[in-house]
Amino acid sequence: MKQRSLGTARTAVSALGLGCMGMSEFYGESDDSQSLATLTRALALGVNFFDTADTYGFGHNESLLGRFIAQGGAARRAQVVVATKFGIVRAPGQYERRIDNSDAYIRSACDASLQRLGVDCIDLYYCHRRNPDVPIEAMMASLAALVRAGKVRQIGLSEASADTLRKACAVHPVAAVQSEYSLWSREPEGGMLQACSELGTSFVAYSPLGRAFLTGTVSSATLADNDFRKHNPRFSGAAEASNRERVEALRGIADGLGMTNAQLALAWLLAKHPHVVPIPGTRRIAYLEQNVAAAAHDPPSTEQVAQLDALFDPARVAGTRYTDAGMAGIE
């Protein structure tokens, strides 16, 4: 697997990471043994960058990753780059959230994550969502104290604005910004990618497959009732039908290049910028292997990238990427 570097410390990570969220929550039922097998296969294929958060499955996701790391002992711990997040607080079983960026919360959340992950230090610790009541400088000071204490190696922000990133970097380097970025979610192109380039911050693209919609393999009619996507505006009604037309056109282009939709969606992201690291999520070895192969594929040409840009021009994508409840803390 090709590598990319993270932040000014230039930590080597695989060009594609693995998003672990779906192994615990949001995308229907999961099976821990299948998820552990997928994690093991990922590492064997050269994927070393694993993404989780304390809120995914209310701790289950971090504990699962902790089991995976423990199974391989110290050698595995040294191989993996663990990224986790704090800041979204939910009542068990609820989607609605409150955002906490207070110093006391950050310190206790970090200790709880370290314990669940079974590690001494979190390689990359993100603020999952911003609470504007806590100035960014104060929150960065809390995180810098965790770095000094040896509990966190590098700091990240998720769904923060370019302005927040600049203020944060004045306090302490920010290794990565993680936000939604894919063919159908192009907000980072409005200044964030440029800010990351200037500041030496990597950009981690989450939901790079549009939560599977871009792959053309899911439809709202077949999703389980407890699947988060069932209530996502882009997967609903007329918006879904309109978005599906774009995905069918994507399939035509991907077929012509000998790729799957998923592979072309990932190759497009990798071609966009050398500091972009997509983290596709999957619980299945077959999907994982298909996605990993995208990094070895010839990158799409400038003309092909432009064609895809136009196909998924934001004005042609129907529906918002979150419900109102999901927009809490997004800058």
Ligand X SMILES: NC(=O)c1ccc[n+]([C@@H]2O[C@H](COP(=O)([O-])OP(=O)(O)OC[C@H]3O[C@@H](n4cnc5c(N)ncnc54)[C@H](OP(=O)(O)O)[C@@H]3O)[C@@H](O)[C@H]2O)c1
The nearer residue to ligand X, 149 or 294, going by C-beta atoms, is 294
> Among 320, 318, 301, 297, which residue's Cα sits nearest to residue 309?
301
Residue 35 near residue 52, CB atoms below 8 Å: no
Q: Pick the catalytic residue from 56, 181, 206, 287.
A: 56
Residue 125 is a catalytic residue: no
Q: Which is nearer to ligand X, 134 or 279 (CB)?
A: 279
Instruction: Using the rule CB under 6 A, give the single segment among 2-10, 98-106, 192-200, 202-210 that binds ligand X.
Output: 202-210
DSSP codes joined into one string, 21-47: GGGTSSSS---HHHHHHHHHHHHHTT-
Nearest CA among 184, 238, 186, 257 for reference residue 216: 184
Q: Indicate which single residue of 178, 201, 232, 243 sits in contact with ligand X (rule: CB under 6 A).
A: 178
211 part of the interface to ligand X, by CB under 6 A:
yes
- Distance CA(164)–CA(156), nearest Å, equals 12
Q: Looking at the DSSP assignment, which residues form a beta bridge with residue 89?
A: 98
Site for ligand X in 224-263 (CB under 6 A): 262
CB neighbour list of residue 32: distance below 8 Å, 6 or more residues apart: 23, 64, 67
Q: Which of 68, 125, 184, 206 binds ligand X (CB under 6 A)?
A: 206
Q: How far is the CB of 148 from ligand X (least distance, A)?
A: 25
**Nearest approach, Cβ of residue 95 and ligand X (Å):** 13
User: CB-wise, 148 or 323, nearer to ligand X?
Assistant: 323
Q: How many CB atoms lie within 10 A of CB 82?
A: 23
> Minimum CB separation from ligand X for residue 216, in Å?
8
| Rounded-to-integer distance, Cα 300 and Cα 255, Å | 13
Rule CB under 6 A: choose which of 24, 290, 292, 312 binds ligand X. 290
Binding site for ligand X (CB under 6 A): 19-22, 27, 51, 128, 158-159, 178, 206-212, 215, 217, 262, 279-284, 287, 290-291
Active site (catalytic) residues = 56
